[in-house]
Structure 1
C-alpha cells in the first residue's frame, strides 16, 4: 500500500507556519536530498493557500535559464505530479495548473475517508505539503506513515506540528543526516504503542 509522507522544514521547537519568518536558507546538499525524496512521490496533497503559492512559482521555474539544475528537476516533478488541493468549502476558484484536482473535505471524517481510499489506490507514495493547518489536520488524524524533518538550529514562536494533538504519538527513527547551515535531517516512521516497551517508573528506564 502507498505511504503518506510528511516532509517539511521546521525549527528546534517544531514551528511549521510562516517559514519566511525563520528560514535562513536551503543549502545545495539539502536541496538535492529533498529532490531525492520527492522522486518517490507521484501525488502531492496541499491546502488551497499553499497551492496558490506553488502555482505562482513552479511553472515559471521550468525554464532552462531559471535556477539550478536541482531546482528545475523539482519544478518538473511539481508540474507532472498529481496535485490534490483540499478546502473546507470549495468556494474559491484555483489558479489553473497541470494535473490539479480540487477536493472538498468539509469535516475531518471526510478528509480521513478520502486519504484512506487514496492510499489503497495503485501508485507511488503521497506527499503532504502545506499549509500549516492542513498538515496539522492530517497529523492529528494519525494518517502519516513517515516523517522527514529538516530541523534548523532556530527557536521561533509560532504554530508547532504537534500542538493540536491530544495524545502521545510514538515515532521510530529511520535515519539522520547533517546539512549546511546546521540543519539536521531526520526520517521517522509511525509506531504503534504496542511496539514499544513501557517501563513502570523513571528509574526503571535508566537501568
Structure 2
C-alpha cells in the first residue's frame, strides 16, 4: 500500500499559512530533507488554494529540485469549486468523494503520495486516518494570531508517534510523525 506523506512549514504556535511571511531561510539541511521526500514520492495531492497559487509559479520556475519534480509527477487536485485544472500538465481534478479517491489511490502500485501545502486538505485526510506520515518543519518563530493553524481549536484528540527528528543548521526542527490508531 502506498503511503500519504504531508510536509508543512510550521511555527511554534502551529501556524502553517503564508510561510513566505515568517520563514526566515531554507538551509542545506532542509534541502536534503526535501530531496529525501522527493525520492520517495511519485504523486502529489494539492488543495484548491495551493493549486491556484502554484499554477502561477511552478510551471515556469527554475527552483530545483522541486520544480522539475512537481511539474513531472501526477498532481491530484481536491476542489469542489474548480471546473478544470488543465492549465498545469499532469493535473487531475478529483471528482466525487475525496476519501474514496485517496483510499483508492493508496491501494494502487507506486511510490508515496505527497500532500504539499494544502493545510485544509491535510486536516481532512488526517481526520480520516489517511495521512501516514506528517512532517512538520518547525521554525523558531511565532506566526501570530491572524494566520491559520494546521489544527483548529475544536480538532479531535489524536495521538502521534515521533518517527524521527533532526535539527537543521538554521535552527529548524524537522519532526516526522505517524498517527497512532485508536485502540
User: TM-score normalized by structure 2?
Assistant: 0.89
CA distance in 2, matches of 1:138, 1:150: 19
1:117-157: CA deviation from partner (whole Å, max 9, x where unpaired): 11111111111113232222222222111111100011122
- When Rg is computed on C-alpha atoms for both structures, the one with the higher figure is 1
1:41 aligns with 2:32: no
Compute the displacement of 1:95 (Å). Answer: 5.6
Which of residues 80, 87, 104 in structure 2 aligns to 1:117? 104
Structure 1 residues 129 and 2, CA, compared in 2 at 3 Å: closer, same or farther? Answer: same
SS of the residue 2:6 aligns to: strand
Contact 1:15 1:161 in 2 (8 A): yes
1:101 aligns with 2:101: no
- Corresponding residue of 1:76: 68
Which of residues 174, 181, 198 in structure 1 aligns to 2:170? 181
Contact 2:122 2:131 in 1 (8 A): no
- Corresponding residue of 1:56: 56
Compute the displacement of 1:58 (Å). Answer: 2.1
- Corresponding residue of 1:7: 7
CA distance in 2, matches of 1:8, 1:113: 24
Compute the displacement of 1:80 (Å). Answer: 1.1
1:74-100: CA deviation from partner (whole Å, max 9, x where unpaired): 211111111011111333x43622211
The alignment yields a C-alpha RMSD, in angstroms, of 1.8
CA distance in 2, matches of 1:183, 1:132: 19
CA distance in 1, matches of 2:172, 2:15: 14
Question: Size of the alignment, in residue pairs?
Answer: 181
SS of the residue 2:64 aligns to: helix
Gaps of at least 5 residues in structure 2 are none
